[in-house]
Amino acid sequence: MTISSKDSVTHCMAQFVIDTNWETLPQPVQKEATRAWMNWVACATGGAATPSMDAAVMGVLSMGANGEVPLLGRRECVHLADAALLGSLSSSAHTYDDTHLATITHPTGPVASAALATAHQLAACAKPVAGARLLNALMLGMELECRVSCAIAAGGASLGWYMTGLSGGIGAAAAVGKLLELSHDQLMYAIGLAAAQAGGLRATHGSMAITFVPGMAARNGLVAAYLAAADFTCSAIAIDGRNGLLQVLTGEADPSLIRADLGSRFELLQNAYKPYPCGIVIHPAIDACLFLAQEISHADIERIDMRVHPDALNLTWRKLPDNVLDAQVSLFHWMAAAFVQHAAGVAQGELTCVQDPAVRALQQRAHAVADPGLASNQAVVALRLRDGRTRERFTQDATGSVTNPMTDGQLAAKFRGLARLTLDARRADELLKLCLNMPALDDAAEILTTGRVRQ
């Protein structure tokens, strides 16, 4: 079937962006905007001093890319598109970023980093972006990103695709397009140009490139919006037309999950924030291990058997990781670390824990099977002890899942812990207050000036 521009899903998406403003968003969506923003700023600030970020900044600057846009948690300034790339990259450096569980996409990173870089650019042109306006753009981008992800996942696309790289640029383009006040046609161009750049493979997991894919989405979406603002055109059928994004990835071109109830039902409310810095599919098992570790010494464990959702083994199958990046996506590392160190935080993702002989020994005694009967927020951990006793723990609703979300207090504590990795306590608290007061902020770029490391 031939799709005309007015029938294409990009037409529907562009109209949604134009029609939706902060005042029209339901109160639960407005609240989630502040929570998503606070979580992203925390992750981006905390990830700024990681080896991944150091290498990325050095690589960008080696291309002569000194610019005017600051980076959270760092001293350097870079050009606009690089700021979008690096901001998103930093926010995923600890694998602590949010996750839309139904599709395993990380929706906030690409959208927030592109939007904040744009807000700084506009402020420099005496067109400051109010906090509520930025949050509105954030929610629009995240909603479209999640919906495109749902359409891709429902079509049966290979799990080997890194979903954030496929849909994140589209969300970023929509958000930046809203801030730039693009016309309807220009928004369609921007969304199409972002779709044309979709990409990313999960084979990058276990390397620094796991952060590059969402960063690439942020940069691509921002560039798409700025090109569209100059009337650089793109086909209106880049998503749902012949040889468009959906058909190429899934063999079909069904955009119904993008269109359905758009503007009245918000898919982004299914987004979740991580209490542990690792793949979210590992979290149900971590909950179970931390509970059992309260009464059982790791030295008394003879064997561990885990039953997990199939995605946990598909995505975090690495049993004996030998470096930090492999450990981030290792079900077995976090299970062992939880038993040995009775915690699952940033410290448990560091090399000292990865190389701990007790952690490695427990990994070797652990076994896992995929159980299709378990939900993505569930896991079963069964222990056989050296004295013959057995113990078992079933996680019904993992901490941080949609059914058991992190509280505002837990998110604030996570913020302080991450921000203190690069900022002193006073500056970290100032940044947190700005994030909490984001809807009333006159200039969103204040987040960057407060959150950067000063000379």
Beta strands in 299-378 (DSSP E): 301-308, 366-370
The span from the CA of 424 to the CA of 305, in Å, is 42
Asked if 353 and 295 count as a contact pair (C-beta separation under 8 A), the reply is no
What integer pLDDT is reported at residue 206 of this predicted model? Answer: 84
pTM of the model as a whole: 0.94
What integer pLDDT is reported at residue 4 of this predicted model? Answer: 52
**pLDDT at 440 > cutoff 50:** yes
CA-derived radius of gyration, the chain? 22
More confident residue, 1 or 434: 434
State the CATH class of domain 280-395.
alpha beta
| pLDDT tens figures, 392-419 | 999 999 999 999 999 999 999 999 999 9
Which numeric CATH code is attached to 9-273+413-451? 1.10.4100.10
**pLDDT at 170 > cutoff 90:** yes
**Per-residue confidence at 441, pLDDT binned at 50, 70, 90?**
very high
* Residue 345 CB-density burial (10 A; 0-12 exposed, 13-18 middle, 19+ buried): middle
* Residue 384 CB-density burial (10 A; 0-12 exposed, 13-18 middle, 19+ buried): middle
The span from the CA of 92 to the CA of 47, in Å, is 7
| pLDDT tens figures, 310-354 | 999 988 899 999 899 999 999 999 999 999 999 999 999 999 999
Query: Could you give the percent of the chain with pLDDT greater than 90?
Result: 93
For the chain, give every residue range classified as CATH 3.30.1330.120. 280-395
**Per-residue confidence at 195, pLDDT binned at 50, 70, 90?**
very high
Q: Which residues contact 293 (CB under 8 A, 6 or more apart)?
A: 338, 339, 342
Angle between helices 27-46 and 80-91 (to 10 degrees): 90
| pLDDT tens figures, 77-126 | 999 999 999 999 999 999 999 999 899 999 999 999 999 999 999 999 99
For the chain, give every residue range classified as CATH 1.10.4100.10. 9-273+413-451
pLDDT, mean of residues 243-249:
96
